[in-house]
Chains A and B, each alone.
Chain A
Amino acid sequence: MNPHWLKTCDPLSLAETSVWGKGQSVSVLITSDSLLKAGQVMKDNGLFLDFMTALDVQEGFFLSYLFCSWKAPFRVLLRVQLSHDKPRVPSLAGIHSGADWHERECHDFFGILFTDHPNLDPLLLPPEMELRPLLKKSAQRKPLTVIMPLEQIVPASAGVQDRLLSATRTETA
């Protein structure tokens, strides 16, 4: 089936990638405002949060949330881009309880602020530590366009997006 319901999470763009494993993986770029809504859509469609993580790039932080299906090799990747100076994003802990610790860890490592998070105490680092260990030094930061081939985020051709979102079943190429 085509995941046509992905429409409902206000995607900026959709792409299909193969680097996440056999079966179907869809990468969905959204804004941080629609994250909560998208999280709810994932839950309603029976996907669970596998993990979430951030990537420190020149443009800011690039967040990836991986949602997997319990029954089939099907996954959806939510991608959110944040700026360096105001890294704030709503917390998914209210919808997917598992997100709680993943976000706490992300806060430890990158200093990203998750609004409405139940408890942002340091999870892995000692509470006295100031360091954000996974932040890159600015010389080492690379632009996102260099490390992420574009077709993994935006569709390679215009047809892909329409095909994914169409309600009728079409053959995957």
Chain B
Amino acid sequence: MAETGFSLRPAALDQDPPLLNFALPNKVVDLCRSMSLWPMTFGLACCAIEMMAVGMARFDVARYGAEVFRPSPRQSDLMIVAGTVSLKMAPALVRLYEQMPSPKWVIAMGNCAISGGPFAYEDQYAIVEGVDKLVPVDVFVPGCPPRPEGLLEGIFKIQEKVTGRRWWPLPQEAAA
């Protein structure tokens, strides 16, 4: 990366402690959370269009409870970073992440969000090569752009991470 004289601040990582700390209620709450994820509409570029497609009739993410896209960080618990994060955008991304209430998860959708994708080359001067430099990422969904099925799988992975088990059959199991 070219020398730009620009410094970035990664997000603060402290999460609020849970209100209740008993194992069984927490398990139930986690299950509820994972089946009703509220993603934040963080569409940045091309990948955002595929993120929209996920919400529409054919792929219908509502089947998995994650269709309530919120424009406000305060109402969401899943940030899908869909697209290229530029240096100019980075402070806003960090701030929005910090404004989300805990617990919160992040999906890095697309090669740009993972590593800079096609825009990471020697001498590049304007993008962040991977959002994991700024915020902790839970699931990476590769592709340029990833197919909507890819993003759905990413959401399944988040559900798996939250509850500790996979809820939906794999394609080969479903076919059998």
Q: How large is the interface on B (under 10, 10 to 19, 20 to 34, 35 or more residues)?
A: under 10
Q: How far is the CA of A130 from the CA of B6 in the complex (A)?
A: 9
Number of A-B pairs, beta carbon distance below 8 Å:
22
- Are A126 and B88 in contact (CB-based, < 8 A)? yes
* B:34-50 near A, CB below 8 Å: none
- Are A129 and B6 in contact (CB-based, < 8 A)? yes
Q: Is chain A's binding surface mostly helix, strand, loop or mixed?
A: loop
Residue of B nearest to A133 (CB): B125
If A131-B125, A133-B125 touch, whether A126 touches B6 (CB-CB below 8 Å) is: yes
B5 in the interface (beta carbon within 8 A): yes
Q: How far is the CA of A146 from the CA of B8 in the complex (A)?
A: 41
- Are B2 and A129 in contact (CB-based, < 8 A)? no
For the complex formed, measure the closest distance between the CB of B95 and the CB atoms of chain A, giving whole angstroms: 15
Q: How far is the CA of A128 from the CA of B4 in the complex (A)?
A: 9
Residues of A contacting B96 in the complex (Cβ-Cβ under 8 angstroms): none
B87 in the interface (beta carbon within 8 A): yes
- Are A131 and B2 in contact (CB-based, < 8 A)? yes
Q: A128-B5, A130-B5, A131-B5 are in contact. List 14 more A-B contacts (CB 8 A).
A: A125-B88, A125-B126, A126-B6, A126-B87, A128-B6, A129-B4, A129-B5, A129-B87, A130-B4, A131-B2, A131-B3, A131-B4, A133-B125, A133-B126
Chain A interface residues toward B at CB < 8 A = 125-126, 128-131, 133
